[in-house]
Amino acid sequence: MAELTARSAQLGRETAVPATLSGGEPVAVTHLRELALAAYREAPWPSSSRDEDWRRTPQVDRLDPASFRPLEGPSWELGQPPATPGGSEGPVLELGAALSADPARWAPLLGSVAPPGLRKLVALNTVLFHDGALVQVPRGQRVPAPIRLRHRVGEGQVAFPRTLVVLEEGAEATILEEWVSEDPGPSLMVPVTEVILGRGARLTHLLSQRLGEGGVLQSTLRARQLDGSSYKVGFALLGGLWGKSYLEVELAGEGSEFRSAGLCVGHGAQHFDVQTLQDHLARGAVSDLLYRAAVAERSRSVFAGLIRVEEGAQKTNAYVQNRNLLLSPEAKADSNPTLEILANDVRCTHGTAAGRIDDEQLFYCQSRGITREEARRLVVEGFFADVVDSFPEGELRQEAGGWVLSALDGLARSGALSSHPG
Amino acid sequence: MPDLLEIQGLEVEVEGKRILQGVDLTVPTGEVHALMGPNGAGKTSLGYAVMGHPKYQVVGGDVRWKGESVLGTPPEQRARRGLFLSLQYPTAIPGVTTANFLRSALKGLGKELPARDFLKMVREQLALLKMDQAFLSRYINDNFSGGEKKRMEIVQLAVLRPEMAILDETDSGLDVDALRTVAEGVNRVRSSGMGVLIITHYQRILEYITPDRVHVMAAGRVIASGGAELVSDIERTGYDPLLRAAGIEEAEAAGAVSG
């Protein structure tokens, strides 16, 4: 308790007192924390006037981790336990326990995909995570049921969820990860998820953010894919006050494949900033990222998506697309997909579009008996259809469909579907 | 006693420009009326105004259905009271499947059905209109051909079962087989006692659907009404004699706004 209070007192924009893993911490992790602390002290706080990444999200200028108490309990919990292979313990282990039991195996992987120097807030997570989830699937094994991970934060708290996902060669799994808070008050969540996919491994990973009204999310999901691996990501930003989410994938192996479909629905003064990287490092990899945002009232979506193709990454096929639906005259969407291509035999495209609900669509619905509000709901639902349809029928599509339905309910409750005539 | 759609002295503006100059027209349920006339006569505008499209501002006259004015009510309320408008260019709504769209419409109309009955009915109507069952899960009108859109309008007409339907050029852009299929669809709903106002500027569809009355519009008003024989008159002589009789110059008849 005394230790936590001390940590809280010294958690700030300049420094923090490193946490230790519950259940003991291997030397390698202590070392990583020292690096992280140095990186944290060295890096200036993100600034909307100085940092290109933050130019459109000035909320960061006022964010101070010192105004939150660090979460004390576990930062993650498991949904219904999957009946699975993955060693005798199952595929999900407490990070601290796994590191203590086999430091030589796991310690080198932690922080290897998202090193502390990557960004200030990744450094902060690395200094302060006090537990974490390790999802590991041994070579050739397949986890049949989705693994459900939930990260919670309470009012006035800051949480640093840490997740390491390691699928060995040919392994297969599905992870459904949630960031939630039930309280409407202010909270901060700074999750870092690292994903390592061995040769031919296949991972489907759905993430959803359902923070309470005052929630702030600062998330990093970064993956490294080896030869022939497949990574399918779905994500939904549905709650909270504002946030920035990084989704970064290194296609480090030949013929690896990354596909992502995400959505965001904003109302009130919500502000969602999403920054993605499709980093093609090897030949013949495929990546496809689709992000759709619907913003109502005064809410705002900011998207920056970079496809980077390294010199040796010939035969790359990459696509990034962002579409935005503006549901009110005050809502805003910024979209900036970019290409940075150093190879000469590639196929890379990007697309962006912003639009409003077409009056003719509304009239058409209304002329068939559908109320204007219901018509708007239908059109917004339709706007997200290709995100939902990108998942295979069954549990996953149902999950994504659930995102849309809860988002629509949120819009309806706030009056965002009925308040504007146009 | 049939119910009446009564359009009385209807004057309509679009963006400040007068389009309808006092239209008088009455269609009872159980009858099929044809509304003909040259391009720009205001036929499409009439349909939109009756259904309550916000762009078509009623500045004079009245639209009464079953003895009550519908003016000032939103389109969905007009639909709930039994009116239907089939669009000349049906709107696509990407991401919204035909099944979902029809289900929402039936719900809005207070005619919701159990899922099984709903599917059975829609499947039947698709089959009658010679449309593949796959259209159920396709996005409504999205990447449909012109003919598919028109057939889908008739599927909707049959599924939603209004009491009074205005069909705006449902025949245009159809080949002979499609035209016959669509006309059969209209004849089926006609036999159920529905009132139908068919807007067309071709005589073609009227070879398959014999109208009880024919009205001719030009320059934003109805200039002639008569029985089915009026169709063959027009076929023989065109609109000119009617226009001259009404004292309308050709340029005026064409109007400035198409439809």
User: What pLDDT, in 10s, does the model give residues B189-229?
Assistant: 888 999 999 999 778 888 899 999 999 999 999 999 999 99
Q: Are A278 and A233 within 8 A, CB to CB?
A: no
| pLDDT for position A24 | 79
Q: So what's the pLDDT on residue B259? A: 43
User: Is residue B154 scored above 70 in pLDDT?
Assistant: yes
pLDDT of residue B173: 81
Chain A residues close to B144, C-beta within 8 Å: none
Residues of chain A contacting B56 with CB distance shorter than 8 Å:
none
Chain B CA closest to residue A387: B95
d(Cα A190, Cα A210) in Å, to the nearest integer?
14
Separation CA B182–CA B204 (nearest Å)? 12
Q: Which of B52, B79, B94 has its CB closest to that of A368?
A: B79
Enumerate the residues of chain B whose CB falls inside 8 A of the CB of residue A372: 74, 76
Q: Which residues of B touch A365 (CB under 8 A)?
A: 76, 93, 101, 104-105
Q: Does B99 touch chain A (CB under 8 A)?
A: no
Round to whole Å and give the CA distance between B147 and B137. Answer: 18
Interface contact A382-B95, CB threshold 8 A: yes
CA distance A236 to A177: 11
Is B74 part of the contact surface with chain A (CB cutoff 8 Å)? yes
Tell me the mean pLDDT in the region B165-187: 90
**Residue A193: closest CA among A157, A141, A231:** A231
Interchain contact B143–A (C-beta under 8 A): no
Sequence-separated (6 or more) residues with CB below 8 Å from residue A255:
A227, A228, A282, A283, A284, A285
Please say whether the beta carbons of A386 and A290 come within 8 A: yes
SS3 A174: strand
pLDDT of residue B172: 84
Nearest to A364 among B91, B95, B108 (CB): B91
Query: Quick check: B101 and A367 CB within 8 A?
Result: no
* Residues in B 173-212 with any Cβ partner in A closer than 8 A: none
Contact A135, A166 (CB under 8 A): yes
Measured CB to CB, residues of chain A less than 8 Å from chain B are 358-361, 363-372, 374, 378-379, 381-386
Of A363, A370, A381, the CB nearest to B95: A381
Q: Encoding tokens for residue B199? A: 């807007």
Q: Per the CB < 8 Å rule, is B105 touching A365?
A: yes
Residue B257 has pLDDT above 50, yes or no: no
How many angstroms separate the CA atoms of A370 and A84, rounded?
A: 47
User: Pick from A70, A63, A59, A54: which is nearest to A16 by CA?
Assistant: A70
What span, in angstroms and rounded, lies between the C-alpha atoms of A91 and A85? 7
Contact at CB, A378 and B156, closer than 8 angstroms? no
Exposed e or buried b per residue across A405-414, where buried means at least 16 C-beta atoms within 10 angstroms of its C-beta: ebbbebbbeb
Q: Which residue of A has its CA nearest to B95?
A: A382
Locate the chain B residue with the closest alpha carbon to A359: B54
Number of CB atoms found within 10 A of residue B91's CB: 18
Q: Give the separation between CA B95 and CA B118, rounded to whole angstroms.
A: 20
Task: For residue A361, give how far its alpha carbon lies from the nearest alpha carbon of chain B (Å).
Answer: 6
Q: What is the pLDDT of residue B189?
A: 87
Which residues of chain A fall short of a pLDDT of 50? 1-2, 6, 86-87, 421-422
Mean per-residue pLDDT for B1-20? 96
- 3-class SS of residue A18: coil
> Is some CB atom of chain A closer than 8 A to the CB atom of B60?
no
- pLDDT score of B251: 63
Mark yes or no for CB contact A363/B90 under 8 Å: no
Q: Has residue B188 got a pLDDT over 50?
A: yes
Q: pTM (2 decimals)?
A: 0.91
- Which of these, B62, B44, B61, lies nearest to B53 by C-alpha position? B44
Q: In this complex, do B109 and A379 lie within 8 Å of one another by their Cβ atoms? A: no
Query: What CATH topology corresponds to B4-254?
Result: Rossmann fold (3.40.50)
Residue ranges covered by each domain of chain B: 4-254
